[in-house]
């Protein structure tokens, strides 16, 4: 099949299949691996990407099996939002018509999804987030403008999928979707990730978090407040804080220092993915994911695959589904730092439960979240729905 991929895409995973000179594009790490997996399964892929580094459409690769079509993106978010991404949508739709595929697989329900609908080609749109919940939590004019694109996008798509049952419920309750929505989750490449050893019987537990952004939705403040309470009971505990906003001197550390919550915290910040995975496998006893709402967090999936037990929110969107209702991870009230701290402490002290949760989590990933199986599920969906 010839698949047209439309969405943020990380080209670093595809460099060995591309010619020199491809400019930086609007990126998201997971999608590059999905494209690569389709290629490895024998499909052709044309990816339609946005870049602020080009002033006119450019084509890279001959399409056998990979072609990247890069179209201009205005560099300032305000300018894109002012006309609801009209220029970007027009450029993307024109690129799709000029370099058509059998089906357009559009990811996220925003500018790429509307461009796919405008192209006239069959469009299978995947919702990766809950648009109105995300806009409400982020509370910026740009987010409200961009996320409003979801309303027409989900109704104009040829077919619609979502990454978790929680996302499906949001589409139905908040965006009025009545048609069938297929659940196709994100996936991980098990062979590319390290494996953690057996749980340690250590009096110096190491917690880890990997949050992409310092803001209300990710609940970094709640995590730091909880960790201070953990250290009352486990004075030698450490916290490795990965992710944007959590680096040395960044907003998370500055806030923590002002509140005297920085003790025992290693503010690592943004880290190359392979290095972060290695550190999780080598150092972490527990991954804590305090986010108030997630659809299908890759951080949790990868920790499950690595063998690091997870603590996360019992009401945090799609998280309970990923953790199999608490059978593959510890679910708790992440809104309450005291409750979160108790769950963290109890799990750190119980190495047998950590081992059990890690084993169940690995089996859940092997059964339901292998990227190779996810890629095949997409192709089956394209053939039947689009």
Q: What number is the average pLDDT over the span 126-131? A: 95
Q: What percent of the chain has pLDDT over 70?
A: 99
Edge-to-edge strand ranges of the sheet holding 265-269? 265-269, 238-242, 206-210, 286-289, 310-313, 330-332
Q: Let me know if the fold of 2-187+370-385 is the same as that of 190-368.
A: yes
| CA 188 vs CA 161, 319, 380: distances in Å | 18, 16, 19
pTM of the model: 0.94
Given a cut of 80, is residue 197 above it in pLDDT?
Answer: yes
Helix (H, G, I), strand (E, B) or coil at 60: strand
CATH number at 2-187+370-385: 3.40.50.2000
What does the block give as tokens for 332?
């708790």
pLDDT digits (tens, 9 = 90+) for 28-70: 989 999 999 999 999 999 999 999 999 999 999 988 999 999 9
Q: What is the pLDDT of residue 109?
A: 98
Are the beta carbons of 34 and 375 closer than 8 angstroms?
yes
* pLDDT confidence bin for 152, thresholds 50/70/90: very high
Helix (H, G, I), strand (E, B) or coil at 370: strand
Are the beta carbons of 184 and 206 closer than 8 angstroms?
no
Q: Backbone dihedral region of 312: left (phi > 0), alpha (psi from -120 to 50 degrees) or beta?
A: beta
Instruction: Extract the runs of DSSP E, i.e. beta strands, from the chain.
Output: 2-6, 44-51, 58-60, 66-72, 103-107, 123-127, 159-162, 181-183, 206-210, 238-242, 265-269, 286-289, 310-313, 330-332
* pLDDT confidence bin for 144, thresholds 50/70/90: confident
* pLDDT confidence bin for 284, thresholds 50/70/90: very high
Q: What number is the average pLDDT over the span 233-252? A: 97
CATH number for 190-368: choose from 3.20.20.70, 3.40.605.10, 3.30.310.50, 3.40.50.2000: 3.40.50.2000
Given a cut of 90, is residue 275 above it in pLDDT?
Answer: yes
Mean pLDDT over all residues of the chain? 96
Q: What number is the average pLDDT over the span 270-299? A: 96
Which residue(s) pair with 51 in the sheet?
72
Q: What is the pLDDT of residue 32?
A: 96
Tell me the C-alpha distance between 372 and 317, whole Å: 25
* pLDDT confidence bin for 332, thresholds 50/70/90: very high
* pLDDT confidence bin for 386, thresholds 50/70/90: confident
Q: What is the pLDDT of residue 132?
A: 86
Domain locations in the chain?
A: 2-187+370-385, 190-368
Given a cut of 80, is residue 101 above it in pLDDT?
Answer: yes
pLDDT digits (tens, 9 = 90+) for 358-378: 999 999 999 999 999 999 999
Tell me the C-alpha distance between 381 and 5, whole Å: 14
Tokens 């999936």 label which residue?
Answer: 301
Tell me the C-alpha distance between 6 and 16, whole Å: 20
Which residue(s) pair with 191 in the sheet?
none
Given a cut of 90, is residue 136 above it in pLDDT?
Answer: no
């Amino acid at each position: 099949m010839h698949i047209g991929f439309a969405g943020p895409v990380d080209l670093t995973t595809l460099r060995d299949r591309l010619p020199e000179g491809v400019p930086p594009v609007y990126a998201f790490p997971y999608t590059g691996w999905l494209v690569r997996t389709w290629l490895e399964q024998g499909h052709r892929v044309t990816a339609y990407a946005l870049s602020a580094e080009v002033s006119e459409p450019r084509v890279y690769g001959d399409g056998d099996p990979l072609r990247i079509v890069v179209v201009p993106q205005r560099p300032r978010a305000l300018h894109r939002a002012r006309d609801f991404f009209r220029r970007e949508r027009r450029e993307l739709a024109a690129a799709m018509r000029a370099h058509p595929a059998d089906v357009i697989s559009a990811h996220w329900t925003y500018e790429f999804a509307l461009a796919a609908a405008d192209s006239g080609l069959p469009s299978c749109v995947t919702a990766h987030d809950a648009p109105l919940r995300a806009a409400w939590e982020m509370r910026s004019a740009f987010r409200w403008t961009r996320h409003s694109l979801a309303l027409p996008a989900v109704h104009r798509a040829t077919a619609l999928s979502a990454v978790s049952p929680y996302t499906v419920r949001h589409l139905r309750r908040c965006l009025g979707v009545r048609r069938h929505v297929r659940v196709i989750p994100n996936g991980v490449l098990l062979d590319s990730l390290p494996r953690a050893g057996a749980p340690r019987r250590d009096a110096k537990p190491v917690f880890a978090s990997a949050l992409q952004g310092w803001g209300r939705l990710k609940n970094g403040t709640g995590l730091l407040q909880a960790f201070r309470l953990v250290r009352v009971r486990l004075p030698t505990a450490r916290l490795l804080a990965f992710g944007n906003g959590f680096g040395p001197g960044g907003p998370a550390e500055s806030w923590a220092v002002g509140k005297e919550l920085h003790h025992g915290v290693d503010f690592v910040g943004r880290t190359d993915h392979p290095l972060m995975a290695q550190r999780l496998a080598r150092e972490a006893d527990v991954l804590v994911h305090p986010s108030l709402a997630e659809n299908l967090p890759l951080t949790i999936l990868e920790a499950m695959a690595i063998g690091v037990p997870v603590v996360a929110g019992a009401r945090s969107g799609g998280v309970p589904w990923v953790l199999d209702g608490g059978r593959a991870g510890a679910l708790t009230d992440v809104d309450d730092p005291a409750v979160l701290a108790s769950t963290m402490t109890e799990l750190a002290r119980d190495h047998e439960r950590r081992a059990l949760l890690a084993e169940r989590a690995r089996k859940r990933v092997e059964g339901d979240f292998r990227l190779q199986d996810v890629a095949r599920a997409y192709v089956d969906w394209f053939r039947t729905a689009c």
